Amino acid sequence: MRLATLDASAQPGKRDGMLVVVSPDGGHFAPAPVKTLQEALDNWAAVAPRLAAIGDFPQPLDPARLAAPLPRAWQWLDGSAFACHGELMDKVLGVVPEKSDRPLMYQGVSSHFYGPHDDVRFPGEEFGIDFEGEFGVIVDAVPMGTSAAEAMAHIRLIVQINDWSLRKLAGPEMKTGFGWVQAKPPCSMAPFAVTPDELGSVWADGRVCADLLVDWNGRRFGAANGAPMGHGFHELVAHAAATRDLVAGTVIGSGTVSNPNYREIGSSCIAERRGIEIVDHGAPRTDFMAFGDTVRMEGRLPDGRSPFGVIEQKVVKA
């Protein structure tokens, strides 16, 4: 099952848009029996069977009308679950991390997720504008203390995310000992949120084992696969729920999708490319994004399908 949200801008007074069920070919939709995705998640046990029962999709779907599947969420938690990415960044920054089996995670902006074709606003190019291709999950209500094994049943939807970053603000904020604020603006979501069964065997051990194709200004930048996550999404959910209940609609990200052979397949963010250049050449050769630049992201299954649809956006001055 694939779900999407029609842009709220066409519906005065409805900030969360209108939930629709999308046809298997992605070209048509049917209105959902509830108004929003948040309402569906709040009542998932009752609503999900009604959504899944829809088999007639009478209306053509205009991609330009699509918002993020969840235009705003109660909570956005982002992990850093790809060890090869973290190890490279630590090497570049000269950081010697404390050894731990605990997942890395921070809490970011959840009050707004950009839609898949929205222009993305930034205050200035000098802050180091960077994209970060990720996969993510959306959960129903998760009780405090839920184990990783139990957490699998709480993962209701899977999404694709661009976690925007301002890299030149990240270092100074990290050195304060507190978390990111200025360095982490709102993220973007691809148009379709899918149930795990939609991915078949590509959803394995809490991981999205699909390629994430990233193009910057029309040129392929990376094609990393989501399989090598050091912690699966069920483990990230359990980590987040260790000392708090997670409200239905909490979004949890994988962190930048990265593979050990990043020199051959490319990267899902500019910072990783610059890190490789620093290791190989002593200095970065790739600049960060400029106003007018575009980025395109598409999670693609081995059979060629794109279950999440495409993020394609332009960076503009606020």
Domain ranges of the chain: 1-67, 69-317
Which neighbouring-strand residues pair with 246?
142
Residue where the block lists tokens 């950009």: 114
State the average pLDDT over residues 248-263.
Answer: 96
Residue 88 is predicted with a pLDDT of: 82
Residue 160 is predicted with a pLDDT of: 98
Portion of the chain with pLDDT greater than 90, in percent: 85
* More confident position, 176 or 35: 35
**Pairing of β 76-79 and β 251-253:** parallel
CA distance 8 to 295: 23
pLDDT digits (tens, 9 = 90+) for 100-153: 788 889 999 999 999 999 999 999 999 999 999 999 999 999 999 999 999 999
Confidence of residue 9 (pLDDT cuts 50, 70, 90): low
Residue 10 is predicted with a pLDDT of: 55
Residue 290, pLDDT above cutoff 60: yes
CA distance 113 to 116: 9
pLDDT digits (tens, 9 = 90+) for 298-310: 999 999 999 999 9
* Cα three-residue angle 261-262-264, rounded to 5 degrees: 75
CA distance 167 to 183: 7
DSSP three-state, residue 122: strand
| CB-CB contact of 53 with 59 (8 Å) | no
Portion of the chain with pLDDT greater than 70, in percent: 95
Distances in Å between the alpha carbon of 299 and those of 40, 194, 222, 226, 272?
A: 24, 12, 11, 9, 19
Distances in Å between the alpha carbon of 70 and those of 19, 112, 194, 195, 275?
A: 9, 9, 12, 14, 33
| pTM for this predicted structure | 0.95
DSSP three-state, residue 2: strand
Residue 11, pLDDT above cutoff 60: no
CA distance 65 to 60: 11
Domain 69-317 carries which CATH code?
3.90.850.10
Confidence of residue 203 (pLDDT cuts 50, 70, 90): very high
DSSP three-state, residue 131: coil
Residue 130 is predicted with a pLDDT of: 97
Confidence of residue 12 (pLDDT cuts 50, 70, 90): low
48 burial via Cβ count (<10 Å: 0-12, 13-18, 19+)? middle
pLDDT digits (tens, 9 = 90+) for 52-86: 999 999 999 999 999 999 999 999 999 999 988 87
Residue 219, pLDDT above cutoff 80: yes
Distances in Å between the alpha carbon of 188 and those of 131, 159, 171, 268, 313?
A: 10, 10, 22, 14, 9
